[in-house]
Amino acid sequence: MSSTSIAVIGGGIAGVTTAFHLARRGAHVTLVDDGGSGQATAASAGIIAPWVSSSDGSYYEAYAAGGNFYPEFLSQLEELGIRELGYRRSGALMVSADAADLDAVEERITRRVQDAGPVAGTVERADERRVHELLPALAPGLTGLFVSGGGRVDGRLLRDATLTGALALGARHVPDSALGLERARTGWRIRTTAGNLDADAVVVAAGARVTALLEPLGVHVGISAQRGQLVHLGLRGVDTSPWPTVHPFAEHYLTPFDGGRIVVGATRESGSGFDPRVTAEGQLQVLRNALELAPGLATATVLEARAGIRPVADRGVPLIGRVPGADGLWMISGYGAGGLTMGPLFGDAVARDVLGEPAPDLAAFAVTSG
């Protein structure tokens, strides 16, 4: 299928990895993305530690498989000479003021880490002193479970690095908005601001916007928009580079980056629509949670606030594969908060599927139209 043309709509992690893997396999691929606001990847906190998540079932399996795939994916980029990936193996630290919380999950997490193998590292029960040593800004009275293989990644850097990789391998980038999708004589026509783009096959990797693109085709895939707000804090004169990500048995977390930058968040605002605003109550919630967890951040500088729109699937698992009743059309969406972890793996899977190459079994994630 290498002489056919393939277009990918969307420049978040799902889109750029799909384009990258298509280009790696020699396909003629064009990525359409306008760099508009609201992209979940651009706002993401960048945690790559599926083993500590509370998810289970098919979602967890996909999440864990995504985490296992990371080292290979990062190597693929490094082999192209791309070094600015924004990834660090920081470790992930679950914490609670109640040791019973940790007791309840220790066995499950230990088993997950063992199943994952070296990528996940080891599990360590951390007493209060050790928790303080790992991240001194945390509240007193917390004990934890430390998973050494957890990682953190700068979503924007990784996205840009992946796009650089795709371009280096021959992909093309059209910096424009995909306004609509129509059947063309052969294949599909993407309507953009500047005109039209025809392709034999199209992969819709447009996050929560997938709904607006597919509904006019009569396809209802059950993806909705969920806003997440985060805040970036700056600690001056503190070496945050060895700090792990922190997970307090709740939906919020703390992700330290080098140079004193700590990302805290995130809200999960279901029903927000595609409205990537930073709101008063969202900021209040993020800051309140962050300072309760880490009072040592009280005097940190507020560097910036971000909002992204996650695509959440009604079915609770990502939706990946052919769009039913639409020959030559694929989609990849619905990751919720796990997109940065799962994106590279599923981008690869979709690329294989589009090209008719052997691909992982995606039956659990099959797209259906309600």
Binding site for its own copies (CB under 8 A): 35, 81-84, 86, 88, 160-161, 163-164, 167-168, 172-175, 179, 193-194, 212, 231, 233, 236-239, 241-242, 258-259, 273-275, 277-281, 283-284, 287-288, 290-291, 297-302, 305
Residue 105 C-beta: closest distance to its own copies, Å:
29
353 contacts 330 by C-beta, under 8 angstroms? yes
Smaller CB distance to its own copies: residue 151 or 321? 151
Smaller CB distance to its own copies: residue 75 or 241? 241
Residue 94 C-beta: closest distance to its own copies, Å:
23
Smaller CB distance to its own copies: residue 195 or 356? 195
- The token pair at 327 is 């020959």
Whole-angstrom Cα distance, residue 232 to residue 286?
10
Sign of the alpha-carbon dihedral angle for 139, 140, 142, 143 = positive
Whole-angstrom Cα distance, residue 308 to residue 256?
19
182 contacts 189 by C-beta, under 8 angstroms? yes
Which residues contact residue 133 at a Cβ distance below 8 angstroms, ignoring those fewer than 6 apart? none
Assess whether the previous peptide bond of 161 is cis (omega < 30° from 0).
no
Smaller CB distance to its own copies: residue 99 or 167? 167
Q: Which backbone phi and psi does 324 adopt, to 5 degrees?
A: -65, 135
DSSP state, residue 298: T
Residue 177 C-beta: closest distance to its own copies, Å:
9
Residue 87 C-beta: closest distance to its own copies, Å:
8
Smaller CB distance to its own copies: residue 108 or 183? 183
Q: 198: buried, middle or exposed (CB in 10 Å: 19+, 13-18, 0-12)? A: middle
- The token pair at 187 is 């294949």
DSSP state, residue 208: G
Residue 357 C-beta: closest distance to its own copies, Å:
25
Smaller CB distance to its own copies: residue 104 or 303? 303
- The token pair at 323 is 């769009």
Which residues contact residue 366 at a Cβ distance below 8 angstroms, ignoring those fewer than 6 apart? 319, 320, 321
Smaller CB distance to its own copies: residue 262 or 342? 262
Residue 189 C-beta: closest distance to its own copies, Å:
14
Residue 195 C-beta: closest distance to its own copies, Å:
8
Residue 302 C-beta: closest distance to its own copies, Å:
5
Smaller CB distance to its own copies: residue 305 or 320? 305
Smaller CB distance to its own copies: residue 88 or 112? 88
Sequence-ordered alpha helix ranges (H) in 4-150: 13-24, 40-43, 57-78, 99-116, 128-134
Assess whether the previous peptide bond of 366 is cis (omega < 30° from 0).
no
Residue 220 C-beta: closest distance to its own copies, Å:
15
266 contacts 228 by C-beta, under 8 angstroms? yes
**Interaxial angle between packed helices 57-78 and 99-116, expressed in degrees from 0 to 180 and rounded to the nearest 10:** 60
Q: Which backbone phi and psi does 10 adopt, to 5 degrees?
A: 120, 135
